Chains A and B, each alone.
Chain A
Amino acid sequence: AQTVTQSQPEMSVQEAETVTLSCTYDTSESDYYLFWYKQPPSRQMILVIRQEAYKQQNATENRFSVNFQKAAKSFSLKISDSQLGDAAMYFCAYGLYQGGSEKLVFGKGTKLTVNP
C-alpha cells in the first residue's frame, strides 16, 4: 500500500522569507502523481501544485515550486517570498489513476505559520 509521510508537524517562516516543507512517499508504482494541497483554517482544501512522476522537470506555480526526487521518493514544497495568506495546513498527497479516476493518499499535514 502507498504511504505518504510528512515529518514536520509544524513549521514557521518570516514574511518574505523562503520555507521548504518535506514529504516522502512509498510506492512500487512507476507512473503516479504527487500533489501539495493547502487547507486554510476553516476553509476548503485547494490544490497548490501537481507533479507527474514521468516528468523530470520540477513543477512551478508562481511562488511555489517542488523538488521531486523520484529515486529517493521525496517531494518537497518550496514557498518563496512567504505571505501572511500562506498560513495554512499543507498536505502532501500521492495519486494513482485507477479505473479512470484518481485515488489520493494524503500525509498527515504540516501546519505553516507565517510571522509578520
Chain B
Amino acid sequence: EAGVVQSPRYKIIEKKQPVAFWCNPISGHNTLYWYRQNLGQGPELLIRYENEEAVDDSQLPKDRFSAERLKGVDSTLKIQPAELGDSAVYLCASSLEGLEQFFGPGTRLTVL
C-alpha cells in the first residue's frame, strides 16, 4: 500500500513569491492534516480536513495561507506571498476515522 505522497520534496523561492504544496493521502483515509515543522521543533498543526471539510483551521495564517481538499482526496496548501519566516518543512498526514496518523516525507521550503 502506498503511503502519503507529497510533492515537491524541496522548494527554494524568493520572498514575496507564491508557492504550493501537494499531498495525496493514503487511499481511503478521510482525515488529512497539514503541519509546519520549524527547524528544531515539533510539528504544529495548520489545518485539519475531514473529507472535504476543514474542521480546524485556527492555526492557519489566513492572510497568506490557503488550503483546499477538493473531492475529499488530495490537498493543496498555498502560500502567497511567502515570507522569510515561512522557511520550514511542511508535513502532510492522513488517518482513517481519527486513528493513527501516517505522515508523508514533507516538503522542505526555503525562502530567500
Instruction: Give chain A's interface residues, CB within 8 Å of chain B.
Output: 4, 37, 43-47, 50, 91, 93, 97-109
Contact = CB atoms under 8 A, between A and B. Distances in A.
Contact of A106 (B31, B43, B55, B95): B43
B103 A45 contact: yes
Given A44-B105, A93-B42, A106-B42, A101 B98 contact: yes
Interface stretch (B12-20, B44-52, B69-77, B78-86): B44-52
10 contacts: A37-B103, A44-B3, A44-B106, A45-B43, A93-B42, A100-B98, A101-B95, A103-B45, A103-B56, A105-B45
Given A101-B48, A106-B42, 4 more contacts: A44-B105, A98-B55, A101-B97, A102-B101
Interface residues of B, number: 24
B99 A99 contact: no
Q: Describe B's contact surface by its main secondary structure.
A: loop
Contacts of A47: 100-101
Contacts of B43: 45, 91, 104, 106
Contacts of A93: 42
A44 B102 CA distance: 9
A102 B49 CA distance: 11
B101 A91 contact: no
B91 interface: yes
Contacts of B103: 37, 44-46
Contacts of B97: 100-101
A39 to B, nearest CB: 8
Closest 9 CB pairs of A and B: A106-B42, A101-B98, A45-B103, A101-B31, A44-B105, A102-B98, A99-B55, A91-B42, A44-B103
Which residue, A43, A91, A93, A102, has most C-beta atoms of chain B within 10 A?
A102
A99 B100 contact: no
A103 B104 CA distance: 17
Contacts of B44: 106
A104 B95 CA distance: 12
Interface string B1-23: 00110000000000000000000
